[in-house]
């Protein structure tokens, strides 16, 4: 029998534990503050931001959106981020992706003060992660690591295959698993004989954005299967990168979509915002 992860319940547990830290900050007159920079009106981004604002409000975290037009210039957007960097009342900054075609997203992310980097995407923090140093980390891989820990999935000496090499999930996921002493293979669209590789894996993290990409013939019985994919079918149904119905009977632990990794991503963003606030208070 496989164990199906309840991402909502786990996120609620972690955020309940976070309340004590927020309460301690509030007692000092400090309210954790997150600013989300949104360019344009991408519908999916608007929904994600709404969820983040609601969760922040429920916890006592001040989450506000800095809204800029779709036509904003690179210079104007970077100036806005620099303004937030120097604002002592802002603890954490997040730039909501995607950005319009006229914007160099990498340059924008690099403008964020690493000490306020809620997403852990700045070059400095990305480098710290791969160096094994402490610092802000991307929320989705952090959520995956929390799931593996809370569901007692062994990592040391285990073979983990990460399918996907994005800067948002795949690459930081590999770095975190390496730090936990797993043996990590990163696979992607050009990987040959992928099924042969995944059948040797104790842990598979899938983040390719292709519905039902991971099938039962690619999975070793008892493996932990983490589905980071969020895809919408022609009928409007949300589904993951794993063929859940076929893979679930084989898995030791498996995350569903929705209600798996998604709630953990939002929770980890809130946890990181509070961590950045505490670091700022300690520095002051």
- Catalytic residue numbers, as ranges: 52, 96, 119
How far is Cα 224 from Cα 202, in angstroms, rounded to an integer? Answer: 6
Tell me the two tokens of residue 154. 């062994």
What does each C-alpha distance from 260 to 124, 156, 184, 247 come to in angstroms?
29, 23, 22, 15
Tell me the two tokens of residue 266. 């939002």
Containing 204, the helix (H) or strand (E) segment is strand 203-206
Instruction: Provide the 3-class DSSP secondary structure of residue 230.
Output: coil
How far is Cα 191 from Cα 195, in angstroms, rounded to an integer? Answer: 10
How far is Cα 229 from Cα 205, in angstroms, rounded to an integer? Answer: 10
How far is Cα 181 from Cα 153, in angstroms, rounded to an integer? Answer: 13
Q: Quickly tell me which residue has 């480098």 as its tokens.
A: 127
Would you tell me how many other CB atoms lie within 10 Å of the CB of residue 70?
A: 13
C-alpha Rg value of the chain to the nearest Å = 19
How far is Cα 171 from Cα 273, in angstroms, rounded to an integer? Answer: 22
């Amino acid at each position: 029998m496989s164990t199906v992860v309840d991402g909502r319940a786990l996120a609620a547990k972690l955020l309940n534990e976070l309340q004590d830290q927020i309460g301690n900050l509030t007692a000092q007159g400090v309210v954790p503050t997150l600013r989300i920079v949104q360019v344009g009106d991408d519908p999916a981004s608007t929904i994600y931001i709404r969820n983040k604002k609601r969760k922040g409000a429920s916890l006592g975290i001040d989450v506000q959106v800095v809204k800029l037009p779709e036509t904003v210039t690179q210079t104007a957007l970077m100036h806005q981020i620099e303004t937030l960097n120097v604002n002592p009342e802002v603890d954490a900054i997040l730039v909501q992706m995607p950005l319009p075609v006229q914007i160099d997203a990498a340059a924008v992310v690099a403008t964020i003060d690493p000490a306020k980097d809620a997403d852990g995407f700045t070059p400095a923090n990305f480098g710290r992660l791969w160096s094994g140093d402490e610092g802000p980390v991307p929320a989705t891989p952090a959520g995956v690591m929390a799931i593996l820990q809370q569901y007692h999935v062994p990592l040391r000496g285990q073979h983990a295959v990460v399918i996907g090499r994005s800067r948002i999930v795949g690459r930081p996921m590999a770095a975190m698993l390496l730090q936990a002493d797993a043996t990590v293979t990163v696979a992607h669209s050009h990987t040959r004989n992928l099924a042969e590789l995944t059948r040797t894996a104790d842990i598979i993290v899938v983040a390719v954005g292709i519905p039902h990409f991971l099938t039962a013939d690619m999975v070793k019985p008892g493996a932990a299967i983490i589905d980071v994919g969020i895809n919408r079918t022609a009928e409007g149904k949300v589904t993951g990168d794993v063929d859940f119905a076929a893979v679930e009977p084989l898995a030791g632990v498996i995350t569903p979509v929705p209600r798996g990794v998604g709630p953990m991503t939002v929770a980890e963003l809130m946890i990181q915002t509070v961590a950045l606030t505490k670091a700022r208070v300690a520095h002051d």
